[in-house]
Structure 1
């Protein structure tokens, strides 16, 4: 076993997965609007937190992660392990005094930022390589310790004068990593790999201890990368038929291992505190880390750019990563924002019967151009991609109609909203009995019919109409207001 740097081949494999791993490491690290004063940034860190054993009963949090999965190592194979986590650092803000000393203050206001107290996340990692043969029996136990530390950083104003300092304190962390493997009975050289990461701190809380105090001695956002230099791992979500029984007996507690790296590869695993699918990847359109995965990148970037100058100053003073998000949102060019608006990941192949076929391996999205106005079987235009609204002539939101109490309701009809029948939205209380204009009649893939409407006295109706942002109701949630046309 060694703790030296990984080989270049191992580094290359791990680099592919680290981008996703970074997203796991900082998931929820700081949330929009990226200010320490925001209510949702007062309860920090929700994923992969391994607290001291003495704190588990008080907070109903866990002190370990237990990973099990199957692998088929070749003879002489080596296993590279990289454990990553954050070590919380309590940051205190201090102001410089005339006598050369410092005093702790709730904030320090500078021209470009407002510095406030905050718990930063210091990145830690444990890296080792071990021969798979050494994992038999009791396996390998690796102690993980991080000492207490204190450091200061001077704070200067625009003129370069020291006006304060940041004092950072980190508490001691004690942990242990246990690795073992057991060969399974059967015709294949399959082993069950077990990786256990546990907090072993002997710290004892008192009756006034808070979660923030326990977090300072915790492994935060802990996750593990595993790489075989010869052999493969088996997927837990899509194992081969012969391995399903053995996969079902694998125990994974407070973490979930998935195949990582490029699709089709099986020599790399990410064991994550967030459930992922095999071969997870960051969308190529994503402009950078935004840390708030509960939001869509486009919405988050636009909302961040719309923060006031004072809000941005506080965000920049909250954390260096938050400052980078502000700068990123302010500098995104229009073409990058346009890419965030949506992407087609795959297209269904449509061909016209009897049409000339392309060479093998070349998909065709439609065949030769048809006569103008013509459509293929079932109303599908063969020259139009399936995801285009104009692909199917059998429906037309502008002219389709639906019967409501014997009356034709189509675009332009006026109805009275009766959402009380379902109560599917809190707005139902406000919309019941209101008159609305039907903008379109829509059909979903399950055969359901929906009415897209705008409320008649809504001052924003024109904007909704321009943007296509309608309210939607089913036919039995409306009464007909105009009854000129009946059947």
Structure 2
């Protein structure tokens, strides 16, 4: 695997497991009973969700010797059912406790990947279809009691999956050697039970489906920020249920991630992150701290819910203080603002010059939607600063004159903000 593709895979793995299992990582949590919301391609006859996706992107390929490295990646739901042994056979149960150990019925997932290498000349000559076939399987694990007697079993099962990749490309007119690449992913599983529960359809679905597309002998063109000469062609690209972006180091244009989640070009995993927490828009520090506050009973349930949940618990418990401190925040780069405020900044209200140190009476306007603002009406405040925002609009930073905590707010820079038309000179 090339270094750019390896870097892209780390980002793609985060996409693959986005929403796999949400905090508090327990099967009993309501939000974990409706799982897998991103990139789900259901069987074609199952209603309400898409069965396919379309990716269109641009290549700058003046020659004919470019090669495509295509990888379809997704999760394959693995049913895990606990069954209790009875005189007349095995019966599925939500939970089974044997010898002080709990066994829980809860679906897992297995990573799948289908790969293809094609020449660009091959796909510009005509559409190519690649069939993806993943066979089903079933594994039994016996559950023994304290004396070795068999009390139940765990049945882990994959349903078979069928899908197609359809790849085509066309050269666009013009001097820049632009090629529009089109890749369709379609779940082709036979399905007739339109009224079946979603959990059953998920077992025949491609979950968190996305594409990694690498190229050699050519370069991708950003669809988010195309050069001027490619803007019209970028606008004509049609993407359905997916979002292609450049991945890898800034400036590289040899790998695209077509993701079910909206991303910017060149997304990256924060170096401070100790591991995946699966939560959409995850905040590592917050989720790690909240994981540490789970009760012992909640942790016990999370551990038996899923092996990856158990891994999160262990990682959070063993995280050294210096690594936890790193999660608190990081400065990636600093920029000097175009204009800074100073004590000389002023604004005129009702013919009176208002500046730092001025006293004003608050008159919250109709633009405000916070009910707390009604309690500020008529209060006297001290202007701490006059700020200018990026649109050139002035705002007054104030503290309440009769607030005993104003000194602390001033020290921490925590102010109330009002527009000039929301105050009057006191």
Shorter-chain TM band: 0.7 to 0.9
Change (3 A) 1:346 1:113: farther
1:185 aligns with 2:173: yes
- Counterpart CA distance in 1 for 2:4 and 2:147 is 46
Q: Which has the higher contact order (CA 8 A, sep 6+)?
A: 2
Q: Which residues of 2 match residues 364-403 of structure 1 at below 5 A?
A: 394-395=342-343
In structure 1, the residue matched to 2:201 is 214
1:391-450 deviations in whole A, cap 9, x for unaligned?
Answer: 968249xxx99999989898998x998768444236557x56798987965735355435
In structure 1, the residue matched to 2:233 is 246
In structure 1, the residue matched to 2:395 is 449
- Counterpart CA distance in 1 for 2:222 and 2:340 is 39
Which of 50, 59, 68 matches 1:71? 59
Which of 40, 63, 66 matches 2:31? 40
Q: Which residues of 2 match residues 299-448 of structure 1 at below 5 A?
A: 299-348=286-335, 394-395=342-343, 421-425=366-370, 431=375, 443=387, 445-446=389-390, 447-448=393-394
Report if the CA contact (8 A) 1:420-1:432 is conserved. Answer: no
1:24 aligns with 2:15: yes
- Counterpart CA distance in 2 for 1:467 and 1:153 is 62
* TM-score normalised by the chain length of structure 1: 0.73
More strand by share: 2
Deviation at 1:252, TM superposition (A): 1.2
Which of 113, 119, 122 matches 1:125? 113
Change (3 A) 1:247 1:409: closer
Report if the CA contact (8 A) 1:452-1:470 is conserved. Answer: no
Change (3 A) 1:191 1:432: same
* TM-score normalised by the chain length of structure 2: 0.83
In structure 1, the residue matched to 2:44 is 53
Report if the CA contact (8 A) 1:440-1:451 is conserved. Answer: yes
Moved more, 225-234 or 153-162: 153-162
Report if the CA contact (8 A) 2:362-2:381 is conserved. Answer: no
- Counterpart CA distance in 2 for 1:81 and 1:445 is 46
1:220-279 deviations in whole A, cap 9, x for unaligned?
Answer: 111001111222111112222222222222221111211111111111111111121111
Report if the CA contact (8 A) 1:114-1:313 is conserved. Answer: no
Moved more, 469-478 or 270-279: 469-478
SS across alignment from 2:261: coil
Change (3 A) 1:473 1:227: same
Q: Which residues of 2 match residues 81-160 of structure 1 at below 5 A?
A: 81-95=70-84, 102-109=90-97, 114-154=102-142
1:43-66 deviations in whole A, cap 9, x for unaligned?
Answer: 2122111111112xx31x211111
SS across alignment from 1:118: coil
SS across alignment from 1:68: strand
Deviation at 1:39, TM superposition (A): 1.8
Report if the CA contact (8 A) 2:365-2:422 is conserved. Answer: no
Moved more, 419-428 or 131-140: 419-428
Change (3 A) 1:298 1:161: farther
CA RMSD for the aligned pairs? 3.9
Change (3 A) 1:407 1:100: farther
Aligned residues: 420
Unaligned 5+ segments in structure 2 are none
